[in-house]
Amino acid sequence: LRLYSFFRSSAAFRVRIALNLKGLRWESSAIDLVKGEHHTLQFEQVNPQRAIPALLDGNQTLIQSMAIVEYLEETHPDPPLLPATTGERSWVRAIAQLIACDIHPLNNLRVMKYLKKDLGVGQEQRDAWVRHWIGEGFSNLEAMIKRHPQTGPFCHGNSPTIADVFLVPQIFNARRAKMDLSAYPTLLRIFDSCMALPAFDLAQPMKQPDAREDYL
């Protein structure tokens, strides 16, 4: 298994966590998004969408973090990252999708570049944009998870699921944006449960071989 990754990419971070939780051995190929290495012809052969992550499994190339995590779940069911019943699985996927579809895309590199270069939006307003959309998503998530009867040390129950795999990288992004997260105590409590596990800890940006202090 070879993961095309960038230390700071939260979508790649999700896949790193899932690979680790599944106990799989994997190697990484670093694609520097700051230098624009995802726009090279070489990488376009790997992922025509020119985005990270992509996972090579034998002669298959998998893209889109949600699809990759579900692929890993199907090919390596143990330990499970989805709960046993259809209703519970739908709930866990709803949390992951709230993050992957409703928060993350609004703050992606290409969106931020468009705001800056094409629309002339200044740094201060771009920072406000990032904080706004993460804040709105986290407020909804906090309310949802706080009152759900099956919330445990993790988003759902006593072991990590796909919901946690998506939550933790988004919290790293929020911290990078210097957000005050005190309004989301349930999310922070779950974050701490996750980060106590090596699978999450070892997947974090600054523990990747391509990590760079000067990019933070």
Ligand X SMILES: N[C@@H](CCC(=O)N[C@@H](CS)C(=O)NCC(=O)O)C(=O)O
Q: Give me the residues that bind ligand X (CB under 6 A), please.
A: 9-11, 33, 38, 51-53, 64-66, 100, 108-110
The encoded tokens of residue 134 equal 């993460």
Contact 67, 74 (CB under 8 A): no
Q: How far is the CB of 10 from ligand X (least distance, A)?
A: 5
Q: How far is the CB of 108 from ligand X (least distance, A)?
A: 5
Q: How far is the CB of 109 from ligand X (least distance, A)?
A: 4
CA 92 – CA 107 distance, rounded (Å): 22
Q: How far is the CB of 185 from ligand X (least distance, A)?
A: 26
Q: How far is the CB of 101 from ligand X (least distance, A)?
A: 8
CB nearer to ligand X: give 50 or 131.
50
**Pairing label, strands 2-5, 54-57:** antiparallel
CB nearer to ligand X: give 109 or 144.
109
CB nearer to ligand X: give 68 or 151.
68
CB nearer to ligand X: give 132 or 176.
176
CB nearer to ligand X: give 167 or 193.
167
